[in-house]
Amino acid sequence: MATLTLATSAVRAARSTKAPRGVVARAADRPLWNPGSPAPEWLDGSLPGDYGFDPLGLGSDPEVLKYFQQAELVHARFAMLGAAGVVIPGLLTKVGILNVPDWWVAGEIAIKDSGIPFWALVMVQAILMGWAETMRIQDYKNPGSQGDGSFFGVTDGFTPVSNGYPGGLFDPMGMGKGDGLKTAQQKEIKNGRLAMLACVGFVAQHAATGKGPIDNLFDHMANPGMVNFATNGVSLP
């Protein structure tokens, strides 16, 4: 009898630890960063690029999750611009089409050659960027509030499709309409995440080799056996 009681208790305990049917179904219906493990309940797949990754539970608060999503989106967009600004000029300079300085000194050289005082540039940047960021944070707090007529007509046509996605003049080809919006959002955040990693890699490359990514790539292609992460004297102790 005691054996039967223990067996029954074990079965009940096993049943109680099973994930809810809905959670298991959702995990099976979409790709997850850790296949086979259920995603946190607050990551239900509704956000672009949601693969259920939140091992520390940082997004369990809905308002915090909303902020994180917007913060990631903005950083992703800046990273994509930054990555393109490093790779494209570097490649065109390498093949002889352009003759521009490397990314880590380009800003300093541009300021010296412009004849514009540094602090004047800082003030203009602060005003313009401050205006844009103020508009963005107000739209985050009150979606749709920064549309037509909110700034002398300058922002007419900026009424967002949804928070963080302005549409209008920022979507001249209408690619964000209908089902195309979800596809574009997914592609944007995935490419943005890669760009953020790339920018970190560019900084690490320069710290390790003193060169940019294009020079590093060409050096590696010319002699892959001797020019790689294991021979730069930094990546491996």
Binding residues for chlorophyll a: 72, 75, 187-188, 191, 193, 205, 220
Contact 133, 124 (CB under 8 A): no
Q: At what angle do helices 62-94 and 103-114 cross, to 10 degrees?
A: 80
Q: Which residues are annotated as a binding site?
A: 72, 75, 77, 122, 187-188, 191, 193, 205, 220
Token readout for 100 is 């521009």
Q: What values do phi and psi take at 165, rounded to 5?
A: -125, 90
Q: Which residues are annotated as a binding site for chlorophyll b?
A: 77, 122
Residue 236 zone, left/alpha/beta (φ > 0; ψ -120 to 50; rest): beta
What's CA 56's distance to the chain center, in Å? Answer: 19
